[in-house]
Amino acid sequence: MTKLTDLTIAEALKGLKNREFSAVELTKEYIGAMEEKRGLNAYVTETPEAALKQAEASDEKYRRGDNASLEGIPLGIKDLFCTRGVKSTACSRILDGFVPQYESTVTQKLLDAGACFLGKLNMDEFAMGGSNETSCFGPVVNPWSKDVKLVAGGSSGGSAAAVSAKMCAAATGTDTGGSIRQPSAFCGVTGIKPTYGRCSRYGIMAFASSLDQAGPIAKDVRDCALLLKVMSGYDVKDSTSANVDVPDFESFLGQTIKGLKIGVPAEYRPEGLNKEIASYWDKGLEMLKARGAEIVDISLPHTKYALPAYYIIAPAEASSNLARYDGLRYGLRVSGKHLDDMYINTRTEGFGKEVKRRIMIGTYVLSAGYYDAYYLKAQKVRRLIRDDFKKAFEKCDVILTPTSPVTAFPIGDKSMQENPINMYLNDIFTVSVSLAGLPAMSLPIGLSTDGLPLGLQVIGKPFDEAAVFKTASALEADAEFGRK
């Protein structure tokens, strides 16, 4: 028997409209799943009472017939989003006890569309990480784990795990260098990072402002389309949000991809690329070819500089953004003999190791003596990477790559704990897209021989999410990954 938690958002909306079940019933099932699967550590704050109240209001709206587009759909919210009256911590001790007085634009839009919020989801501290292990609440367990507990990916690990384990209908995520796409791939779910500027960053705690973007993580491509439509749009409160039309993303699903040109970047197939991942990549290309798409070889020659550039620019912006956590304004305060002491004590206790590392790197590359050598250079490389994509997109409409060079690895993996660079290397396929500000979706394509999900990434031109949705829906239909 299918449970209500098995339904996609599109299916649930139908059931709600036809009064087959109520929003309260749907919400209660998700609350049950949250309780049953607490061991995954996906939620850091649960708000079942508020969710039920919202669901009751939704049921009333269905009765009156003035239901909104996501009326009664229970969502999980990454803890990086400020939610009014609900603890929002970025999974950092420094925001211990912080309860925002305002709502982020993206979550407000979801509320206005009738969604209800089940709680706040675990993540890497301030979204810095790729395994959800830097969270002050501890790691999220990947629902696909067997004997050994595996990471859910990061930084939106709680979001991906909660969707995968059906502890919410869908979730919000954010992506600075891969944080929506990589955990989606690790957990066998679908997530899209839209074009930079598509969603407002207002009320999302800043990590690297020129890279941060919100996006949905959902059970399938259609649900991503439904959610992204609601989450997108110009916002006067975010000067980098783009004043462009928001198309009905759902309308592109199932459209023909005949003649669509799919770019395959040579640089993304280094020697030693995991064979299974390479073979699923080829299978994906075959599927698209069989539907009449044309495969074109492209080159993104500056790919090898993307990781170093990202790991200069992101920490530089982070070091500046995180200067506001001084013990005076939000969350934690650890007293000291005088003001400077208080700053030092608060930041020493409040930030975890990875966040401190990034603040140190960031302040270093921005310091007077090194600014030109590192930060300015990285900015120039960023432009070259963007130009690579621009050139490539003269030859193709979308680009297909793997999402990650690896599948989910064990929690506490030594090689990555001992040398953070090994963790950073996992971001190889996602950071260039972020540096170029492009839209990209990760969707599950199949399982490894170990039974772990593998994801493919569809990259589009700026504000051409349409082509991404078109391509992804074709792949999804052919891959028949299903909702295993």
The residue ranges that bind ligand GLN (CB under 6 A) are 127-130, 155, 175-179, 207, 314, 427
Burial of 304 (0-12, 13-18, 19+ CB in 10 A): exposed
| Annotation marks residue 14 as catalytic | no
User: Closer to ligand GLN at the Cβ: 393 or 429?
Assistant: 429
Task: Please state, in angstroms and rounded to a whole number, the distance separating the CA atoms of residues 287 and 99.
Answer: 48
What the block records as the tokens of 219 is 């059970």
| Annotation marks residue 78 as catalytic | yes
DSSP class of residue 242? Answer: -
Taking the complex as a whole, how short is the minimal distance between the CB of residue 75 and ligand GLN, in angstroms?
A: 20
User: Closer to ligand GLN at the Cβ: 128 or 224?
Assistant: 128
Taking the complex as a whole, how short is the minimal distance between the CB of residue 115 and ligand GLN, in angstroms?
A: 23
From 28, 37, 78, 193, the catalytic residue:
78
Report phi then psi at 315, rounded to 5: -65, -35
Overall size of the chain counted in residues: 484
User: Closer to ligand GLN at the Cβ: 195 or 473?
Assistant: 195
Cis peptide before 155 (omega within 30 of 0): yes
CA 426 to chain CA centroid, nearest Å: 15
User: Closer to ligand GLN at the Cβ: 54 or 156?
Assistant: 156
Residue type, 425: L
Taking the complex as a whole, how short is the minimal distance between the CB of residue 79 and ligand GLN, in angstroms?
A: 13
Sorted by sequence, the CB contacts under 8 Å of residue 155 that are 6+ apart come out as: 123, 124, 127, 128, 129, 130, 132, 134, 174, 176, 179, 183
Taking the complex as a whole, how short is the minimal distance between the CB of residue 421 and ligand GLN, in angstroms?
A: 11
Taking the complex as a whole, how short is the minimal distance between the CB of residue 129 and ligand GLN, in angstroms?
A: 5
What number of other Cβ atoms are within 10 A of residue 479's Cβ?
Answer: 18
From 92, 131, 155, 404, the catalytic residue:
155
The beta strand positions in 98-204, using DSSP E, are: 116-121, 170-175, 190-193
In the three-class reduction of DSSP (H, G, I as helix; E, B as strand; rest coil), residue 116 is classed as strand
User: Closer to ligand GLN at the Cβ: 265 or 315?
Assistant: 315
| Annotation marks residue 279 as catalytic | no
Which residues face 215 on adjacent strands? Answer: 173
What number of other Cβ atoms are within 10 A of residue 86's Cβ?
Answer: 19
Taking the complex as a whole, how short is the minimal distance between the CB of residue 27 and ligand GLN, in angstroms?
A: 29
Residue nearest to ligand GLN (CB): 179
From 88, 92, 164, 179, the catalytic residue:
179
User: Closer to ligand GLN at the Cβ: 172 or 179?
Assistant: 179
Q: Which residues are catalytic?
A: 78, 155, 179
